[in-house]
Structure 1
């Protein structure tokens, strides 16, 4: 059963646009990790509540998602994202 993973990163107000663009590039670079069926990174068009970066992914299954979370590249980028944003996650099986 496929595993859907959606993250909304709310970028801190004091973060420069250059750093947001870098973060989007870093997140986009994860698309080639094993087990990913689809990978989309985008900036939200609606910025009424601040700058939001959307990560929308589908993995082959929950095991593939677990492997993704423990992958060193993901862990490095997640740590970087933690310095510039807060986030909310929505996961489900599909």
Structure 2
């Protein structure tokens, strides 16, 4: 499909959908082909993405250390009567 840039302005959503579906969409300027809309290929497939996420989770779990209980983390600010120091 060839369409002028001026006409494409009002139909961009439809043109993008058509390009994603595999149609050839060429935008013209002054009657000459200027741009072709093509779908973007994913950089990483779903299986690779899941493997990376799993590796990051394992790495984070290995680095995590048990620390002070959050309920007691501010105790140094108060005396034995619960008043600010």
TM-score range, shorter chain: under 0.3
Query: Could you tell me the TM-score, scaled by structure 1's length?
Result: 0.21
- Select the structure that is richer in helix: 2
Structure number with the bigger relative contact order (C-alpha 8 A, sep ≥ 6) is 1
Taking structure 2 as the reference length, the TM-score comes to 0.22
Structure number with higher strand proportion: 1
